[in-house]
Amino acid sequence: MIWTGVPTHRQVRVSLTAPKSTVHVIETPLQTIVFHESRNIYDVRIEKTLLEAIPPSIFTQELLETLFITNSQLTSIDFELFSKLPYLSYCNFSFNKLHTLHFSRDEPCCHRLLMFNLEHNRLEQFDFGAIAHMGCLDTLILRENRLHVLENRELNGTVPMKLSSFVCNELQRYSTKNWTTASNTSFARLNTIDLNGNQLRSVNMSMFISMPWLKDFIISQNKLTEVIVSDGKLPQRLEFIDLSFNRLANADLRSLLGVKTVNLGGNQ
C-alpha cells in the first residue's frame, strides 16, 4: 500500500491482510497513523510527515522487518518498545529532530538488526555500549548530528542473544561478507561506523577495541585536533579510517601506522 499527498487528513488507519505486505506513507501532513495488529506487515516506510513519535501501533506488527521513518519530526525514541519486534532488521530514522535515545537495561532489543541509520538528527552524545548486544548489526550511521561526546559503557548485565552464524548470514544474504563466528559477543559483527559531519574534537580509538569486526571507521568533517590510541590498542581488523577535513595538520598520528588506509585529506 502506498499513501501519498493527502492534503486534508491528519490521521489514517492501516489494516492489511495479504502476507508480506508493505506500507509506504509519503509526503503527507499526517500526525497520526494507526496500524491494526497483524502478522502481515513486514515493511513500513514513512517519509515527509508531521509525525513527532513512532506510532505505538507499529509495535503490534510482530513480523516487521523494515522500519523507515525519515524526514519527519521525531524528537526521541524509547527502544524498550522495540523488544516487541523480534524480526526487525533495518531501521532508518534519518532526517528527523532526534535528540534523545533511550535503551533499556532490562529489555534489550534489536538482536537481528543489520543496519541502523540515525543520520542528520540532533544527537549530542552517543553511548556505543547501548548497542553492544545487537549481535547482527553491521552498519551504524550517525553522520551529520551534533555529537561532541562518545562513550562505550556496555549496559550492565546485558548479554548478547546467541544467534547462530547461519541466522545472521541469512539476514545478510545481500552481502558478500563471509562471517564465521557466532553472534554471542559484544559488537559481534559491527563492520562500519560513520560519524561524518559532527562536532567531535577528540577521539580515543581504543574505545572501539571490543569491536572484533570493525573495518571501516569514518570520522571526517569534524573538529578533531587529536586522535588517541591508549596503549597502542586498535580494533584488530580495522582497515580504513577517514580523518579528512578536520584540524589534524599538526597532530601526532604515528599510533595509526598499523592501519592499512588512513585518509587525511583536507586537514588544517
Q: What are the pLDDT digits (tens) for 116-135?
A: 999 999 999 999 999 999 99
> What's the CATH code of the domain at 156?
3.80.10.10
pLDDT of residue 181: 38
**Residue at 139 is within a domain:** yes
Q: What are the pLDDT digits (tens) for 17-37?
A: 567 889 998 888 878 888 888
What's the mean per-residue pLDDT of the chain? Answer: 86
> What would the mean pLDDT of 139-147 be, rounded to a whole number?
98
What phi-psi label fits residue 58: left (phi over 0), alpha (psi between -120 and 50 degrees) or beta? alpha
> What would the mean pLDDT of 125-151 be, rounded to a whole number?
96
pLDDT interval class at 9 (50, 70, 90)? low
> What would the mean pLDDT of 96-101 be, rounded to a whole number?
98
The count of structural domains within the chain is 1
**Residue at 53 is within a domain:** no
- pTM of the complete model: 0.86
Q: What are the pLDDT digits (tens) for 60-72?
A: 999 999 999 999 9
**Residue at 23 is within a domain:** no
**Residue at 15 is within a domain:** no
Beta strands at 125-127 and 100-102: parallel, antiparallel or unpaired: unpaired
**Residue at 164 is within a domain:** yes
Enclosing domain of residue 231: 108-263
Cell digits for 19?
502476507
**Residue at 12 is within a domain:** no
User: Are 107 and 133 a contacting pair, CB within 8 Å?
Assistant: no
Q: What are the pLDDT digits (tens) for 220-235?
A: 999 999 999 988 889 9
Cell digits for 45?
516506510
Alpha carbons within 13 angstroms on the beta-carbon side of residue 139 total 13
**Residue at 235 is within a domain:** yes
**Residue at 177 is within a domain:** yes
